[in-house]
Structure 1
Amino acid sequence: MNRISDVVLMLAVAVMFLSAAGCGSSGGENASCLSCHGKIEHASPAHPSCVSCHGGDGRARSKEDAHRTMFAPRNPSDPAVWEKSCGACHPYQLGRVRSGLMYTNTGIIRNIQLTWEGEDGRRYGARQDDLYDAEGKRVRVNGVAELNNLSGELYRKFCSLCHVGIENRYAWGVGHGSGCAACHFPRNADSAYEGSDLTMRLRGPAASSHRMEGLPGNDVCFRCHNRSGRIALSYLGLNDGNNGLVPTRGGFPGPQLTSGNRNVTSIPPDIHHARGMECIDCHTSRDIMGDGYAYENLYHQVEIRCEDCHGSATSPPRWREIVRENEEAVRESARYPVQMRPGMRMIVTAKGRPYSNVFVKDGRVAVLGKRSGRVFTSKVITGSPAHTVVGHDRLECTACHSRAVPQCYGCHTKYDKGRTGTDFIKGMDTPGLFTETEDYRMLYPFPLALNQRGGIAPVTPGCQTFVTVVEPDGTLSREGYVSTFKGKKQLRFAPFYSHNTGERAIGCGECHANPAFLGFGQHVTGKGRIDGTLRCTKNEAKPLDGFQTMEGGLVRAFSAITRENSRPLNDTEAKRVWRANLCIVCHTRADDPIYRKELDYRALDDALHRRLLTGSAGRAVAR
């Protein structure tokens, strides 16, 4: 036992020595590296060797000899070399990231194809690879560089920059490295190094420090998720709807600016953020890095749901006890302020996998902040009156508890063949420049429709593409063309979770009485009809902010809801929603006994209701 103790002590001393010496010891294989980079930040105790990550010769006597065999001078995690560097020690994590949607972007590329040319029977991703789907079948992912049409070009020139396959060195405030470094190394607004290594000082594009971040903060998520659905903005309580840069503070735009010269103002934040939770406190590593399987849509990869921690109307959260010391929850929590251990009852995700930070404590659901160490208590809603209203079985949590849903109406895409644009995947400028403008943006109210699971959930424009094509001679071959989806010229909405959750739900009367929530947009009503009023000059026949109208008392949908099995509420369902107002006008509380069973509208004909409805019992109504 004494010899074992001595060995442990020697190892501890060695780690302390390596940590004190920057990115490794002052001699040995790092000697040449540290002769120039003596003050470089130590990446982490688990990464003591420079050459194991960057390659090169750490014992060479000249810079040229030391650098000659480097395979990663700047970023060892770049996908071009990550199998030699990160993947050599972390093959499990690399396999997950390679197949994850944050890297492959297969879903984004597929949806662009559906808008522009339609699918061609092949699956495309950021780079060519052979992966496996959730059923264990081999999947060939073709590189998007081979997609030589407008779909491929739009992704490469417009969408790819935000995603982790390549480095974003162009955008102020939201730059990131490629590969693993996109999440695990810090980045400042200018993508400039500001650490202690004088040979690298203020050089870029680069991480702001050489110190690795094992657990990314909200600022890392913000780098990418501030565009498109803008979920990082919504979660933090921000909105970039004032892009006219109208002054809001001291004569200047504000309260802050973000990338793309966007003026960001404040809205109420998501309740989880307000309570102190970070993105990774809810999202598992499998949500973010992938689980090793190739998916085509994000909702297949994301494994968490609100019901995991809060329960459903009829079932409380599920849990599984840790029985082995090598289970994933134990391994992943090794860097948390509190480690999970055998015997703990871990809450499981919608896919049945244990969380690494959510567990049962004293009969309650506890959520550990992975970085902060704070313990949050999750309220379980199972059996509560507000969640057991008969007829609400299909409602997703987000249908009632979303406070703001970013909606960008009228996306006008211009493709100018006479100008050049940067193809970020191919790394060169090529003919054809994409630009976009919009018509209108709003947060509330938001439309509801059936999502891919058959649940009623918020939807948002996704996307409303009006295409203008400018030929090399300046003539317009297309102007304001409505793109085709599923064989028809139609606009699209997509199921969406905005990440702006409130504790209080939308009022029953508000949702049941406002046709905007059912997809009628801003409207006027008449006898047996509902007409939308927000119309674009490029599409005057149909409203932008809705996907259906009512004519002659019948509901007619005219835009598509994307995702398989998704659709607007039909005529029967819409009228059932509105009919409930006959009761809601008086019975305003969810715990009213009448909502414990299906509403019986024949009760309106009994003596009590006849007196109430004719006004002969006005004082009773007031009570």
Structure 2
Amino acid sequence: MLLTLLCCLFVGCAADDPDNVSCRACHARIEHASPAHPSCVGCHGGNGRARSKDAAHRTMFSPRNPSAPGAWEKSCGTCHPYQLGRVRSTLMQTNAGMIKNIQLTWEGTDGRRYGTGGEEVFDPAGKPQRLVGVAELDNTAGELYRKFCSLCHIGIENDVAYGVGHGAGCAACHYPRNERSEYRGDDLTMKWRAPAANSHRLEPLPGNDACFRCHNRSGRIALSYLGLYDGNSGQVPSRNGFPGPLMTSGGRNVTRIPPDIHYTRGMDCIDCHTSRDIMGDGYAYENLYHQVEIRCEDCHGSGTELPRWREIVRENEEPVRESRQYRQQMRPGMKMIVTASGRPYANVFYRDGKVRLLGKRSGRLFTCKVITGTPAHTIAGHGRLECYTCHSRTVVQCYGCHTTYDKSRIGHDFIKGMDTPGAFSETEDYRMLYPFPLALNQRGKVAPVTPGCQTFVTVVEADGTVSKSGYVTTFKGKRQLRFAPFYGHNTGARAIGCGECHGNPAFLGFGQHVVAGRSITGTLLCPKNEEKPLDGFQTMAAGRVQAFSAVTREHSRPLNEREVKRVMAANLCIVCHRQAADPIYRKELDYRALEDALHRRLLDGSHPPVAR
């Protein structure tokens, strides 16, 4: 009777459910997970009618987090089998792409596909496949992933990193944590305990802070999107002897840069990214660019094609189901914008002849500017450019990443859950944001690239001897560093100036340089090979271009000699014809026009040039 009375005094998980009685006796003020989750026992397991704590907890699915992979078949998966089937295969769970790329850097691949826990998945062709558990990858690549990279894997809990902790499984996104991973809700039994979610209230639509938990390292896309930068400063005091102005995980000092325009306008990460981008679509991909289905052209169109759309015709279609949590639900008859893979967005649609985007969390309605047919986007020869090639403000580039694997020290293996010999440490030589090099990406488009990963490997054996020093792995049959196509998530409304991109060889992969006649010489030289610049991947000598680093991903490569010379030659016209609307840019440039009478007078100074 006393337990029932206590339960009726407080709000939270359903007090009138007899299966919750003993749970509410200790957790009387626990927050309601959501109206759709009224039963404590339904999610957590256990015995909600028991008279003691031990008896109540004995059959719980998991002591603290029922959404962890070890329990999610019994908990979340019983009501959400469709979502669980997708998450089990998503790259956020398998980390297959990350593991593969680490292998390429350290030992090279061995022909097997690895995942975090030996997942049973379907490949993109629909064939069943078992990923080999990364615990079986018995080399330095496996050690690096398990001890250094795996904390961003949603399958395990990150309770050791300040500011970026997250739970395992579904809780990684749907039960966000604060900077100390402390419970700060109203339940007095759990108050201030750690590690735990900030609240027991489920977040059906994760905010940017959930994305930041993992995407603040490596490519730093969360930092760039929010307008933050952690490079080239370390702990160097910036004012009054203190590092600053802001700090983030790992004791990193971050400064402010212009944020992405989408963030400035008030958009969240999930407003652009579909649930299939994040939770997967049920198939296991090898790299992230295969799983992400969205492109800028989906909402903004291309120079020649308008955004595509598909009408909702049934009440059970994905946009209708997913938008139940939004401020506005999608309905049959609405014209939904489709992604590059042909699937409809759940929050982007045509209305009144315009492309509208609904903020999933905010409920705000945004109008997407369509650029089809505009002069700046119909320049001849620019059809091969990704939108973010011109519109990226910055691209994080980390040069000279030095990783040391010291077998004489002890490191924690987060996948195996134990300490083992071997610890990793990293330093970097140089970091920059702009200018950023361009190359052909996996789609055959000109796009930004970043060192990926430009790693120099040092291995210290258990007896203290150095078995590898500054070692660079073999890639595509050569001992070479690598660059990778990359979208930095720091987009601006204004594009890079034509003269700036065409006139600065750093954009073409030459790094910091000096130009002398028909030669371009790098000035930031690699200490391991002074003939090769550290921050570039090609050189020019007597007009001949030679690439010395690889660009990863299938079909990717540096611009070749003919392409480099065509880019530079455009400066002959850009100096006078500065506007994209100029008629000469509607077709391929005719450099023979420089020999006609008008241009000869302009070039010899007898007639003042007029900028168009």
Which band: TM-score by shorter chain?
over 0.9
2:472 counterpart letter in structure 1: V
**Match of residue 13 from structure 1:** none
Q: What amino acid is the match of 2:145?
A: Y
Q: In 2 relative to 1, CA 18–372 (structure 1 residues): closer, same or farther, beyond 3 Å?
A: farther
- Inter-partner Cα distance in structure 2 for 1:18 and 1:107: 50
Corresponding residue for residue 35 of structure 2: 45
CA distance in 2, matches of 1:610, 1:21: 84
Is residue 537 from structure 1 mapped to residue 512 from structure 2 by the alignment?
no
The one-letter amino acid of 1:416's match is D
The answer on whether the counterparts of 1:414 and 1:436 sit within 8 Å (CA) in structure 2 is yes
Q: How does 1:182-201 map to 2 (within 5 A)?
A: 182-201=172-191
**1:574 equivalenced with 2:564 (yes/no):** yes
Deviation of residue 260 (structure 1)? 0.6
Q: Distance in 1 between matches of 2:304 and 2:10?
A: 55
- Deviations along 1:23-54, whole A, 9 cap, x unmatched? 22255001111111111111111111111111
Is 1:400 matched with 2:400? no
Structure 1 residue 235 and structure 2 residue 225: aligned? yes
1:604 match: 594
Q: What is the rounded CA distance, in whole Å, between the counterparts of 2:145 and 2:73 in structure 1?
A: 25
2:281 is matched with 291
1:421-432 matches, within 5 Å, as 421-432=411-422
Matched residue, 1:515: 505
Do 1:242 and 1:265's aligned partners in 2 also have CA atoms closer than 8 Å?
no
Question: Can you list the C-alpha shifts for 1:248-295, whole angstroms capped at 9, x where unaligned?
Answer: 345422221000111110000000001111100000000000000110
What is the match of residue 12 of structure 1?
Answer: none
**Residue 552 (structure 1) aligned to one of 523, 534, 542:** 542
1:594/1:475 Cα in 2 relative to 1: closer, same or farther (>3 Å)?
same
1:524 and 2:514 are equivalent in the alignment: yes
The question of 1:213 aligning with 2:203 is answered yes
Alignment of 1:70-149 (within 5 A): 70-149=60-139
Inter-partner Cα distance in structure 2 for 1:251 and 1:310: 46
Q: Verify the 8 A CA contact 2:19 2:39 in the aligned structure 1.
A: yes
**2:322 matched to 1:332?**
yes
Distance of 1:287 and 1:141 partners within structure 2: 20
Question: What is the SS of the residue equivalent to 1:224?
Answer: coil
The match for 2:171 among 163, 181, 184 is 181
Is 1:278 aligned to 2:268, yes or no? yes
Q: How does 1:154-169 map to 2 (within 5 A)?
A: 154-169=144-159
Letter in 2 for 1:481: Y
Report what 1:10 is aligned to: none
Secondary structure of the 1:34 match is helix
Question: Secondary structure of the residue that 1:111 maps to in structure 2?
Answer: helix
Please identify, of 537-546 and 465-474, the stretch whose mean Cα deviation from structure 2 is larger.
537-546
SS at match of 2:161: coil
Q: 8 Å contact 1:117–1:151 — kept in the other structure? A: yes
Cα distance per residue 1:291-323 (max 9 Å; x no partner)? 001100101100100000000111000011111
Say whether 1:443 aligns with 2:433. Answer: yes
CA contact (8 A) 1:53 1:72 kept: no
- The aligned counterpart of 1:474 is 464
Query: CA deviation digits over 1:348-377, x for unaligned, max 9?
Result: 000111100001111000000001111000
Q: For the Cα contact (< 8 Å) 2:539–2:547, is it kept in 1?
A: yes
Distance 1:117 1:479 in 2: 15
**CA-to-aligned-CA distance 1:534-571 (integer Å, 9 cap, x gap):** 12323323111000001221100000000000000000
**2:163 corresponds to which letter in structure 1?**
G
1:377 aligns with 2:377: no
- Judge which range, 59-68 or 373-382, deviates more: 59-68
Query: Per-residue deviation at 1:487?
Result: 2.5
Alpha-carbon separation, structure 1, partners of 2:152 and 2:529? 30
1:115-138, CA deviations, whole angstroms, 9 ceiling, x for partnerless residues? 111111110011112211221112
The verdict on how the C-alpha distance between 1:140 and 1:27 changes in structure 2, with shifts beyond 3 A counting, is: closer
Q: Tell me: CA distance 1:19–1:437, structure 2 relative to 1, closer, same or farther (3 Å).
A: farther
Alignment pair present for 1:584 and 2:574: yes
* Separation in 2, partners of 1:87, 1:18: 30
The question of whether the paired residues in 2 share the 8 Å contact of 1:99 and 1:131 is answered with: yes
Correspondence for 2:290 among 300, 312, 324: 300
Partner residue of 1:311 out of 301, 321, 335 = 301
Task: Please say if residues 438 and 509 of structure 2, whose CA atoms lie closer than 8 Å, have aligned partners that are also in contact.
Answer: yes
Give the 3-state SS of the residue equivalent to 2:304 in structure 1.
coil
1:566-618: per-residue Cα shift (whole Å, max 9, x none)?
Answer: 00000001001111111111001110000011111111111100000000002
Q: How does 1:448-467 map to 2 (within 5 A)?
A: 448-467=438-457
Please give the alpha-carbon distance, in whole angstroms, between the structure 1 residues aligned to 2:9 and 2:326.
20
Q: Deviations over 1:410-468 (max 9, x none)?
A: 01010101001010000001000111100000000000000000000000000111111
Going from structure 1 to structure 2, the CA distance change for 1:18 and 1:155 (only over 3 Å counts) comes to farther
Counterpart Cα distance in 2 of 1:164 and 1:444: 32
Q: Which residue of 1 aligns with 2:358?
A: 368
One of 243, 263, 268 as aligned partner of 1:253? 243
Candidates 471, 477, 480, aligned match of 1:487: 477
Change (3 A) 1:510 1:68: same
Question: Could you tell me how far apart the structure 2 residues matched to 1:430 and 1:85 are?
Answer: 33
Partner of 1:616: 606
- Alpha-carbon distance change, 362 to 19 in structure 1, aligned in 2, over 3 angstroms: farther
- The AA in structure 2 aligned to 1:164 is I
Contact 1:99–1:290, Cα closer than 8 Å, also in 2 = yes
Aligned match of 2:45: 55
Whether the aligned pair in 2 keeps the contact of 1:168 and 1:176 (CA below 8 Å) is yes
RMSD of aligned residue pairs (Cα, Å): 1.4
The one-letter code sitting in structure 2 at the alignment partner of 1:112 is: I
Aligned to 1:31: 21
For residue 429 of structure 1, what is the amino acid of its counterpart? D
SS of the residue aligned with 1:414? strand
CA distance in 2, matches of 1:528, 1:507: 24
What is the SS of the residue equivalent to 2:356?
strand
Judging changes above 3 Å, is the alpha-carbon distance between structure 1 residues 19 and 147 closer, same or farther for their aligned structure 2 residues?
A: farther
The CA deviation at 1:63 is: 0.9
Whether the 8 Å contact between 1:395 and 1:455 is mirrored in structure 2 is: yes
CA contact (8 A) 1:26 1:34 kept: no
Question: How far apart in 2 are the matches of 1:472 and 1:348?
Answer: 55
Moved more, 582-591 or 539-548: 539-548
- CA distance in structure 2 between the aligned counterparts of 1:393 and 1:590, rounded to whole angstroms: 14
After alignment, is 109-118 or 306-315 more displaced?
109-118
> What is the rounded CA distance, in whole Å, between the counterparts of 1:20 and 1:568 in structure 2?
64
Name the residue aligned to 1:354.
344
Letter aligned with residue 598 of structure 2? L
Deviation at 1:382, TM superposition (A): 0.3
Deviation, 1:622, is 6.6
Matches of 1:214 and 1:244 in 2, distance apart? 36
| Structure 1, unpaired ranges of 5+ | 1-16
Code of the residue aligned with 2:130 in structure 1: it is R
- Secondary structure of the 1:563 match is coil
Ranges in structure 2 where 5+ consecutive residues have no aligned partner = 1-6
Select 2:312's aligned residue among 312, 322, 326: 322
Q: Offset at 1:165? A: 1.3
